[in-house]
Every structure is written in structure tokens, then in C-alpha cells.
Amino acid sequence: MKAWLLFGLFLFLFLATPSRANLISIRLLLTDWNQTQSQFDLNGDQKVNTLDFAIESVTVAPSPSPSTVWPVLNFTPVATVPSPVTIASAHDGTNRLFVVEQSGRIHSIENGNLVSTPFLTITARVSCCGERGLLGLAFPPQFTSKQYFYVNYTNTSGNTVISRFRVTSNPNVADPNSEQILLTITQPFSNHNGGQLQFGPDGYLYIGMGDGGSSGDPQNRAQNPAELLGKILRIDSESNLTQYQIPPTNPFVGNSAYRPEIWALGLRNPWRFSFDKLTGDLLIADVGQNQWEELNWQSAASTGGVNYGWRTMEGMHCFNPASGCAQTGLTLPIAEYNHTLGCSITGGYRYRGLQFPNLYGVYLYGDYCSGRIWGLRAQGTSWETTQLIQTAYQITTFGEDEQGELFIADYASGTIYHIMP
Ligand SMILES: [Ca+2]
Ligand SMILES: [Ca+2]
């Protein structure tokens, strides 16, 4: 089938479907790369090669415009990994899932099968467990050509390390001796180490840092601009592999009172945050102290520097001082729940996949202690949230694959589940 026919098919589907918002997924089978056939371009003078295609399948998903029906979640086991805390995707076309084992291993799942040899083993460098361990994993843009990735772990001294490792000639095995440490952050207490790593749509590496620990942020680190603790950091890890760079558009560049890595501040323990695959918006789940678990939203248009309030506030409530706190300049969460419903929020992802139409546009988040999972969706200019299910899982993390399908980890059993209709 020639390319113009394919274009015709696209046009047909585009016009024939009831809404432009519908998702059309066409699976192509490349049958021939035809070097001899050629055609003229629109200028009439240039030869271009043509491709022969076969249409393997065409799927038109129901409209992703907000459904009035909340999705009913089902969970299909994918693999079992001891103490899973992170699920990441390499975006290299393999659709592999990488699952981080807290004690210091990374496992890969390829074509639905757990690869028996771990992708990476650095257990001797990692202190575990509680809130310590190998906690974060992210693959950079253009990983296919780069073949390196980033981790966030607690070292044997209890401090946070952000480092880079390289993959060997075997795509399912990384080299533990290839480590390049980008950043070490001293941790005053064993808890609240953050752990999330995500590349933003801007290509920069975002790092979640907790307030350092103890209880109530005793040194007020999350509000201290000279500290990296209690923040989300943003660095340019890709321009210079020997030394990370500060993005020139970071909000506090040139302000000597602030560490220039700071993107957002006033966070207690942003254990999990994620970017909306479609809009680039940032959703940050911040674990609360004794009463309130919270969810924060940041538009993709944000220029950074947002103060999310901790320890002045816990959720939408004054924390220190307990009443009459000064809220000027603080950004409140878009959702919160109290400790009658859980004790530790685990942020998830906004679903942008094709297999689960009722979930489209819904952000999922859960609670580690209660196993509850909530959905959050935009309703006009505001948000609405509801509990979708209460599971028996100790929810440590959600994950998103290359197609936008969502996964969840049960820390207790180690099972990774695909969230299905
Ligand atoms: Ca700590
Ligand atoms: Ca807050």
C-alpha cells in the first residue's frame, strides 16, 4: 500500500469518527522499503523514496473526553520482584518495564517475562530498608542511543546519591562498575529521603528530595533556600556528562540565597511525582506528617519556584504554627485526605493509554497503608476525586509503560500488576 493511500485512510478515519478527540491507533507492518520506486514531491522536482505498508490493525478508542463514569479497576499480575519501589520505562521501543528492588537491584520485564538476571545489582552500595534503599530510576530522552540511565539511592552512610550507570552490550544487563556520581546529598535522619527521578518534557532531570527526616522538619529545611532537602530539584544532566549543569531558566538562578538546583520548595517527602504524558503538567504527591496526605498540581507552563507550604502547612491546614500560619506565597494542594483513610500517599500517573477508555485523563493515586486507590480528574476548571477501590496492596509505586499503560506495585507480595478495565 502506498503512502498516499495511507494518508487517505488517515483522512477517512479523521473525518468519519465522531470526535476529533478520539484516539486512532494504527499498527503498521512494514512490508518493503522500496528503493526503486519514487515519486515527485510538491515542488515537482525531487525524488523521494516510498515505503510499502500493510495495515495490521486499526483501533479507534472511544472518545477520551471526560467520562461521566469512573473506571472500575482490575489488576492483572505481571511479575513478582522482592520489595518493589519503582517501576520505570526506557522509551526505547522495547516496551520493557524496569522494576527497582529496594535493597539495590533493578529487574527488567521484557515481553511480559521477568528476565532472570537482574539488570543492575548495587546492593553493597545501598543501605536498606525502611525509607532508605534504591529508590528511584529514570531513563533519559534518546536512551536508545545513549544507553545510560539514572538512579537515586541511599548510600551506606545514609546519604542520598544520584548517579548514572551504563548498559553493557547486553541490553538487559547494566555495568555496576560504570557508576558516575552526579550529586550526593547529606541526610540528617534515616527517613524522608524522597526518591523520585523523572525527566520532564523539557529534557531536564527532576529529583524529589524529602525534608531530611525526623518529624515535623525540626530544622525547617523544606523552607530553607540554602538546602536541597524538602525540594524538587531540576538539573541538566545531558549537556555535559562530566558535570551536571543548572538550567538557565531555573527559577532561582542568580539569587545567591537559593541553591540554583531548586525547582520547587516546601515539600515534606514527595515520594512520587509524575508528568502528564499529554499535557506535561506535573502532579506531586507529598506525604503528610500525622494528619493530611496531599496532592499538588503544577501546570506545564509553570516557570518554577512554587512553594508548596511544608512545614508551615500540612495539606490545607496550618502545621507550624498550628493556627494562624502565614499562607502568603504558599500554593495549596488540589486534593487531600486525612489519616482515617490512610497514612502515606503514593502518587501515580495520569492515564494516557489506549486500552482503558474509562480511565483516560484520570490520575491515579493510592495509599501505602490502606491500599485505597483514588481517581482524580479535571472537571471544568477544578478537580474532582473519588475512591475507586480499596485493595489489600501496600502500594509503594505506580508505573507507566511506553504506551501509557499503568502498573502498580504491592510491596508486601512483590507483585507488579497491570491496571486493566
Ligand atoms: Ca532522610
Ligand atoms: Ca503542601
Looking at the CA of 155, name the nearest ligand.
1
Ligand 2 centroid to 333 CA: how many Å? 6
Q: pLDDT by residue (tens digit) across 170-195?
A: 999 999 999 999 999 999 999 999 99
Which residue ranges make up each domain of the chain?
Answer: 3-61, 74-420
Question: Which grid coordinates belong to 326?
Answer: 502565614
We find that the CATH architecture of domain 74-420 is 6 Propeller (2.120)
Would you say 419 and 75 are in contact if contact means Cβ atoms under 8 Å apart? yes
- Give the span between the Cα atoms of 349 and 347, in whole angstroms: 7
Looking at the CA of 187, name the nearest ligand.
1
Looking at the CA of 158, name the nearest ligand.
1
Ligand 1 centroid to 309 CA: how many Å? 19
In this model, does residue 27 exceed pLDDT 80? no
Q: pLDDT by residue (tens digit) across 404-421?
A: 999 999 999 999 999 999
Residue with cell 520505570: 88
Secondary element (H or E) of residue 4: helix 3-16
Looking at the CA of 194, name the nearest ligand.
1
Q: How far apart are the first and last CA of the chain?
A: 34
Looking at the CA of 193, name the nearest ligand.
1
Per-residue pLDDT band for 4 (boundaries 50, 70, 90) equals: low
Share of the chain above pLDDT 70, in %: 84
**Is the backbone peptide bond immediately before 18 cis, with ω within 30 degrees of 0?**
no
Ligand 2 centroid to 62 CA: how many Å? 36
Ligand 1 centroid to 5 CA: how many Å? 59
**Total-model pTM:** 0.86
Ligand 2 centroid to 313 CA: how many Å? 6
Strands 372-379 and 382-390: antiparallel
Would you say 346 and 397 are in contact if contact means Cβ atoms under 8 Å apart? yes
Ligand 2 centroid to 245 CA: how many Å? 28
Ligand 2 centroid to 371 CA: how many Å? 22
Would you say 351 and 361 are in contact if contact means Cβ atoms under 8 Å apart? yes
